[in-house]
Structure 1
Amino acid sequence: MNVTLTAKGLPAGLLKRHLSNFTKRFFQTSSANMVQVGDSVPNVDLFENLPTNKVNLTELSQGKKVVLFAVPGAFTPGCSKTHLPGYVSKADEMKKQGISEIVCVSVNDPFVMAAWGKDQKTEGKVRMLADPSASLAKALDLTVEIGPLGGVRSKRYSMVIDNGKITSLQVEPDGTGLSCSLAEAIKI
């Protein structure tokens, strides 16, 4: 019998199965209920600056073209060094292409999102909205469990919404990476 041993002496097939189960459990990127291109945006409230300042996503996207992108957490390295700055730098270009508004959403409280926006100089470029109870992430079926960040978070994704309908959707293959959801990759 010929068995290939890998990390920690596990047979290759067993290691592959364990890695596959881990990936499915922690970074599931699609399911039967996940939002699709052509769907309407969910009727959920997000928050801007204060817990009392509700912004309804359905109302926000009516009659205009909006880019919405979500990140796992404010002030995290990938989000602060790459993801959000890309949208800030491309905001004027996107608006010339017909985008009315660019929205960043994270499972954080509105005070954190406001502070992060100020730190990243988003004013007039990217609107910072909080999804404190992951209502949007859950409605889109785009949640990921990240214990060190507090539990349920949003997967990293970007979408274009045209008059309340999703016309473009890019979900990171592992839910948290930085590739297809970047400003440079958005399909307007």
Structure 2
Amino acid sequence: MSIKAGDTIPAMTLTQATAEGPRELSTEALFGGKTVVLFGVPGAFTPTCSAKHMPSFLSNMASLKAKGVDAVACMAVNDAFVMNAWAKDQGVGDEVVMIADGAAAFTRALGLEFDLTARGMGVRCQRFALVAKDGKVTHVGIEAPGAFEVSSGEAVLAAL
């Protein structure tokens, strides 16, 4: 079952991709006492993720912060080195917390796994965005396969 408004973010240790290499980050440290937008993509460097999804958050960052968002995080079922390279490619800087979910453990805990094995990609994350306040989910937008309508930076901004 997919995560929904009213649910609590699962307590887990995540892997954050940083310029210095992979770093452990607990969900408590990321979400505790803050308003956080987490968006998930099927994969770093994939067409919609690179051309639309990440840019939609980067271009709306000031507006999201003005609406009370403390942090924006991006997650993909990729390793931390790929996520770091994608962050560099996208010019993320320190604007977005890059979460590497290489084994899809957090993706599965959120109920957002998507099997793309037939397309050579294995288990991936569905395209989604959620808002959590102090670890409690207040909004979730999960895309239908191939869609990009409810998980963009603009859609999240409209939901705040």
TM-score (norm 1): 0.78
Distance 1:149 1:126, change over 3 A: farther
In the alignment, structure 1 residue 47 sits paired with structure 2 residue 15: yes
**1:86 equivalent among 48, 56, 77:** 56
In the alignment, structure 1 residue 181 sits paired with structure 2 residue 151: yes
- The secondary structure found in structure 2 opposite 1:54 is strand
Q: Give distance in 2, aligned partners of 1:62 and 1:116.
A: 26
In the alignment, structure 1 residue 96 sits paired with structure 2 residue 36: no
Q: Give distance in 2, aligned partners of 1:161 and 1:110.
A: 23
- The secondary structure found in structure 2 opposite 1:95 is helix
Q: Give distance in 1, aligned partners of 2:43 and 2:104.
A: 12
Aligned to 1:159: 130
Higher normalized strand content (fraction of residues): 2
Mind listing any 5+ residue stretches in structure 2 that lack a counterpart? Answer: none
**2:111 equivalent among 137, 141, 147:** 141
Q: Give distance in 2, aligned partners of 1:74 and 1:183.
A: 17
TM-score (norm 2): 0.92
- The secondary structure found in structure 2 opposite 1:84 is helix
In the alignment, structure 1 residue 56 sits paired with structure 2 residue 26: yes
Q: What is the CA-CA distance between 1:36 and the residue it aligns to?
A: 1.4
- The secondary structure found in structure 1 opposite 2:61 is helix
Q: Give distance in 1, aligned partners of 2:82 and 2:120.
A: 14
Q: Give distance in 2, aligned partners of 1:59 and 1:43.
A: 10
Q: What is the CA-CA distance between 1:128 and the residue it aligns to?
A: 1.1
- The secondary structure found in structure 2 opposite 1:48 is strand
- The secondary structure found in structure 1 opposite 2:59 is helix
Mind listing any 5+ residue stretches in structure 1 that lack a counterpart? Answer: 1-32
Q: Give distance in 1, aligned partners of 2:110 and 2:68.
A: 25
Q: What is the CA-CA distance between 1:149 and the residue it aligns to?
A: 4.7
- Taking only aligned residues, the RMSD between alpha carbons, in angstroms, comes to 1.2
Higher RCO, 1 or 2 (CA under 8 Å, sep at least 6)? 2
Q: Give distance in 2, aligned partners of 1:121 and 1:111.
A: 15
Aligned to 2:2: 34
Supply the AA of the counterpart residue of 1:157.
F
Aligned to 1:15: none
Q: What is the CA-CA distance between 1:59 and the residue it aligns to?
A: 2.5
Number of equivalent positions: 154
**Counterpart contact for 1:113–1:129, Cα < 8 Å:** yes
- Range with bigger deviation, 153-162 or 142-151: 142-151
- The secondary structure found in structure 2 opposite 1:103 is strand
Supply the AA of the counterpart residue of 1:172.
E
Q: What is the CA-CA distance between 1:167 and the residue it aligns to?
A: 0.3
